[in-house]
Amino acid sequence: MKKFLVVMLICMSSLILSACKRGPALYVLNWSEYMSDELIGQFEAEFGVKVILETADTNEIMYTKIKGRTTKFDIAIPSDYMVHKLFQENLLVPFDLALLPNYEASLFDDTLQGLREDYFEGNEGVSAPYFWGSLGIMYNTEKAGAKALVEANGWRVFFDGTLTAGYKVGMYNSSRDAIAAAELYLGYDLNTTSDTELTAVQNLLKAQNYNTWGTDNLKTMVSEGNLDIALVYSGDFFDILYATMEDNLDITYNMFVPDTNNIWFDAMVIPTTSQNPTLAHQFINFMLDPENAYLNATEIGYCPSLKSAYQAMLNDPDYTDIITEYPYYPGTITNGFLYRDLGPAIYQQFELILVNAKG
């Protein structure tokens, strides 16, 4: 009996010491495949913490998770319009800039910074840009005629079945992005709230018969030849491109980025659910370190928001040729539009449009 108690005490002590060694936990809400595992490991080792990641497929799911407070997220990385929505509803903690020595507005891309300031009207101290990009049309270069079809027709390839007969087409399973593609094709404002225009969008989407409604899997399906054309984020393309090159496989796909497009940015924020706001600041500051931002961008594939990180990519022979051959970063778009926060009623309408479109 005494031996049993001694063993139990040793086990309990080991568990306690193990817990102490792990330190506090940092809860991060992010997109799938959207942060370097190496950087997470470095942060955990440097600060003696455990980073616990939870993912979401859409901004609306992120909002529900933060609003519901079921998990005490310390960090979230939503997109532009959702950052603004969270900000408007007082669900974000203002930054303590004394804890963010790496945060300085002038360090961010000039175009991105201008877009961001427009959102928060000078009170931008609640978000730190993470990645930014656009929408794109990814296509299978081994499918006869796909390149010419996409480049000649742009957004039309998603909405004119006579053009794509014999092609397998994938649409993004996100109400905001699927609706945006339809609006870009119809020539509507990406932030329209017109009932007439939104009804036209719904009818257009509902009339389609896409082979797949997907998210991160769309890029993989095109790269593997299981889809011929798909709506993707620009960073999705670079993510799969880097992976293909690293594995020394043939590149059997490309992307076309129409000049009239959505420009989006994702940003790091601290929700009011945070139980460790100081640690959250340390995490943001760590990710804003120029070397870390560069490493993150080259591993994940999305365009970094820090000018220094992007310049480092341009100066790196491994990436200079890629950026030259595939010039699909957001700064090349001259007619780009941001999503704006349109209010809960419109978002409910968007979700209903998506449900109806998918049948």
Superfamily for the 133-263+335-358 domain: Periplasmic binding protein-like II (3.40.190.10)
pTM to 2 decimal places: 0.83
For residues 23 and 199, what is the distance between their CA atoms, to the nearest angstrom? 52
pLDDT of the residue at 326: 81
Domains 19-132+264-331 and 133-263+335-358 share a fold: yes
Q: Domain segments of the chain: what residues?
A: 19-132+264-331, 133-263+335-358
Distances (CA, A) of 99 to 90, 206, 260, 279, 285: 21, 49, 39, 10, 8
pLDDT value of position 334: 83
In the block, tokens 């495949």 appear at 33
Backbone phi and psi for residue 66, each to the nearest 5 degrees, phi listed first: -70, -45
* Per-residue confidence (pLDDT) for residue 116, from 0 to 100: 74
Q: What's residue 251's pLDDT?
A: 96
pLDDT tens string 63-96: 999 999 989 999 999 999 999 899 989 999 999 9
pLDDT at 208: 97
Which residues, 6 or more positions from 81, have their beta carbon under 8 angstroms from its beta carbon? Answer: 59, 176, 338, 339, 340, 341, 342
Quickly name the fold that domain 19-132+264-331 has.
Answer: D-Maltodextrin-Binding Protein; domain 2 (3.40.190)
Could you please report the per-residue DSSP string of 97-144? GGG-TT--GGGB-HHHHHHHHHHHTT--TT-EEEEEEEEEEEEETTST
Q: What is the pLDDT of residue 124?
A: 59
Low-confidence ranges of the chain (pLDDT < 70): 1-22, 120-124
What local confidence, expressed as pLDDT, does residue 268 receive?
Answer: 96
Q: Determine the pLDDT at residue 6.
A: 37
Amino acid identity, position 226: N
Q: What is the DSSP letter of 275?
A: S
